[in-house]
Chain A
């Protein structure tokens, strides 16, 4: 297990190191290549700002108004009857909207339920197995001007719901 823990922390620095050394070995002007690639990041950032603005202003409003809480409370009642904790439902509701908000909620769950509690484990598994769906959809499709997403959201939300149920199952069966 210690191996895995150190592996997680080492992947990124080792990867960067490897890329640079490999590049030098292949006689690439790494500094020049880096700057050339980095240039593309600028236009990307400019494209991103309006999209982020759209998502974050809406989410901030929705969350600050208290509607988000109402929505998750409404959903968590019926779901608690099949054994899904209310905190998981709240996390599930916010997960597709905002990565930072969901990380915050995860930390919150760790604090209130204890980081080794079953709820915390389920929440951790769910965080690791899902993405910020709406944000990703908005960003990716928005960047190329696609407005009609067809069956994307149906498939994505279906996957997220399955992830939630599987997180509960996996933790209860394996841990």
Chain B
């Protein structure tokens, strides 16, 4: 599916550019995106290194276990058959996301995917656990959407944090719906 979207992006883009006589700008646009990918990867690399470093301290001191034990009981209901290694990382990723530490959450998320891949019977197909995990991530369960609040404040909003409650509602319901969809699809496909 991702492949189709990606192919469609390029196909539609290039054809339209050729059609409107701007074929010579195609390479420029593509290069622009590609070089932004480099600078983004580099700056993200720095941030990831930082958070992974911090989180490793937390792991060594037993703090991650403590944090995980808070969210674990609830998450266990969504991941009943997942192994410990993957489940630990899933818990940390979700907890970090909820605290608004999305840059810290991503490395955990990627590690969780790796662990889930090892448990998965498929080689290039997504397992039900992976999908459930992905949906939890894309539903963006942030208790305090700090980025948006900071932006609102910097633009002089009268009440920057007014969006907190509506955001919680707008994020909680779709999240639950996503979970329900995943459960239904899982049942229809048999286990994992």
Contacts and interface: CB of A to CB of B under 8 A. Distances in A.
B75 interface: no
Interface size class of B (residues with CB under 8 A): 35 or more
B146 A8 contact: yes
Interface in B20-53: 20, 22, 25-26, 29-34, 36-38, 40-42, 44-46, 48-53
B174 A60 contact: no
A136 interface: yes
A58 B33 contact: yes
Given A19-B54, A36-B56, A129-B140, A163 B33 contact: no
Given A44-B107, A65-B17, A146 B138 contact: no
A14 B135 CA distance: 29
Nearest to B149: A8
Given A151-B131, A152-B126, A137 B138 contact: yes
Q: Is the interface of A mostly helix, strand, loop or mixed?
A: helix
Contact of A37 (B46, B52, B165, B174): B52
A15 B99 contact: yes
Nearest to B123: A145
A139 interface: yes
B110 A44 contact: yes
Interface in A16-72: 16, 19-20, 22-23, 25-26, 28, 30, 33-42, 44-45, 47-49, 52-62, 64-67
27 contacts: A5-B161, A19-B58, A20-B54, A22-B61, A36-B56, A37-B53, A37-B54, A37-B56, A41-B48, A49-B38, A53-B34, A53-B38, A57-B29, A57-B37, A60-B36, A65-B12, A110-B155, A116-B159, A124-B152, A125-B166, A125-B167, A129-B168, A153-B1, A156-B138, A158-B178, A159-B135, A162-B173
